[in-house]
């Protein structure tokens, strides 16, 4: 088994690392890695419906889609992630998470596997896990909340459920805890990472450390740039959904209803008690074909006079209405 400590903290790059190892390596692999603040959404999720967009933009939190299903998770540098890639695996979640439990039990922490894919301490979740299979290879990965900023996690993942209607997989929020709260003696997340890596190397057969070559890094960077850092993958890949929102403005109440397919507005309907110089259906038609992202809508609004359609309403009001 190849044992890798991936010291990149770039979420786009690290998602590309996982795919690269999954699809290009023949050896079994164990990897530890961390991200700077990011939300990692499941393969089948509607990204916008999982995030608090205002907070994410304010804090410059990356949003990245992963290869596996399941719910959205928050990463920061105090969250440690682990990845197994194995051939001929039975896919047992308990098998992959057992080394983590063994390390924590050795530190005097009563960590347990519970439910479908969670690790818990005293009934509170500190690790979520997910898997995918391709060409006889299994990728299993999980989060380990070590000393994560819970306020950032809560705010970044706090979404108004009334805005979105879709059939995408929804994240299930559970009461969570940090591992650091339960340790008998304090340690850093990197010290904890070292303990896990040592345990894997001591207990798994034929382990050897591996560092990415220049060729590996070039291929991973290409995958990051062409896939994992793109709007098309992270947002455009979202399933079909409907978006609705109503705001009060100086010019009156406005209610927006959008249908979105592959991240693109496919239908728009606007209601309200506002006044307009031109037929509002013209504005609805202008929205069709536009990406449902702030950059595209901002560019659109800069090229039209919104006062023609909404008297006394600003472009900022329209932006607020659409997100």
Domain ranges (residues) in the chain: 2-236, 241-322
Amino acid 16: pLDDT: 98
The reply to whether CATH 3.60.15.10 applies to domain 241-322 is no
Overall CATH class of domain 2-236: alpha beta
Cβ-contact 91, 134 below 8 angstroms: no
Q: pLDDT tens across 220-240, in order?
A: 999 999 999 999 999 999 999
Look up residue 66 and give its DSSP letter: -
Amino acid 160: pLDDT: 67
pTM exceeds 0.75, yes or no: yes
For 13-31, what is the mean pLDDT? 97
On the question of pLDDT at 219 being above 80, the answer is yes
What mean pLDDT, rounded, does the chain reach?
94
- The pLDDT-based confidence of 163 (bands split at 50, 70, 90) is confident
For 113-119, what is the mean pLDDT? 87
Amino acid 40: pLDDT: 97
Amino acid 173: pLDDT: 64
On the question of pLDDT at 118 being above 90, the answer is no
Question: Cα–Cα distance between 300 and 259 in angstroms, integer?
Answer: 18
Amino acid 88: pLDDT: 81
For 294-311, what is the mean pLDDT? 94
**Residue 74, burial from CB neighbour count under 10 angstroms (0-12, 13-18, 19+):** buried
| Structure token digits, residue 249 | 């403005």
For 62-70, what is the mean pLDDT? 95
Q: Identify the residue with better confidence: 159 or 34.
A: 34
Question: Cα–Cα distance between 129 and 141 in angstroms, integer?
Answer: 6
| Structure token digits, residue 301 | 């609004």
């Amino acid at each position: 088994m190849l044992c890798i400590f991936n010291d990149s903290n770039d979420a786009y790059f690290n998602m590309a690392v996982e795919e690269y190892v999954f699809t290009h390596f023949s050896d079994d692999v164990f990897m530890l890695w961390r991200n700077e603040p990011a939300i990692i959404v499941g393969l089948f999720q509607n990204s916008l419906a999982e995030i608090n967009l205002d907070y994410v933009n304010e804090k410059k939190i990356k949003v990245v889609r992963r290869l596996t299903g399941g719910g959205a998770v928050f990463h920061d540098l105090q969250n440690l992630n682990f990845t197994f890639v194995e051939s001929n695996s039975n896919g047992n979640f308990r098998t992959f998470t057992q080394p983590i439990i063994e390390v924590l039990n050795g530190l005097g922490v009563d960590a347990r596997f519970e439910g479908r894919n969670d690790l818990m301490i005293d009934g509170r979740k500190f690790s979520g896990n997910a898997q995918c299979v391709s060409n006889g290879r299994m990728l299993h990965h999980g989060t380990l909340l070590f000393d994560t900023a819970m306020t950032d996690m809560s705010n970044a993942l706090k979404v108004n459920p009334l805005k979105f209607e879709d059939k995408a997989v929804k994240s299930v929020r559970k009461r969570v805890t940090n591992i650091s709260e339960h340790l008998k003696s304090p340690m850093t997340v990197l010290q904890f990472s070292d303990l896990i890596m040592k345990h894997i190397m001591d207990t798994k057969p034929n382990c050897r450390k591996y560092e990415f070559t220049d060729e590996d890094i070039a291929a991973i960077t290409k995958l990051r740039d062409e896939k994992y850092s793109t709007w098309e993958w992270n947002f455009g890949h979202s399933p079909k959904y409907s978006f609705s929102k109503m705001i009060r403005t100086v010019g009156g109440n406005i209610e927006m209803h959008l249908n979105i397919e592959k991240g693109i507005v496919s239908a728009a309907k606007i209601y309200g008690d506002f006044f307009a110089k031109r037929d509002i259906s013209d504005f609805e038609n202008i929205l069709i074909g536009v990406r449902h992202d702030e950059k595209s809508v901002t560019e659109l609004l800069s090229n039209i006079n919104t006062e023609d359609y909404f008297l006394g309403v600003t472009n900022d009001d329209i932006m607020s209405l659409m997100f």
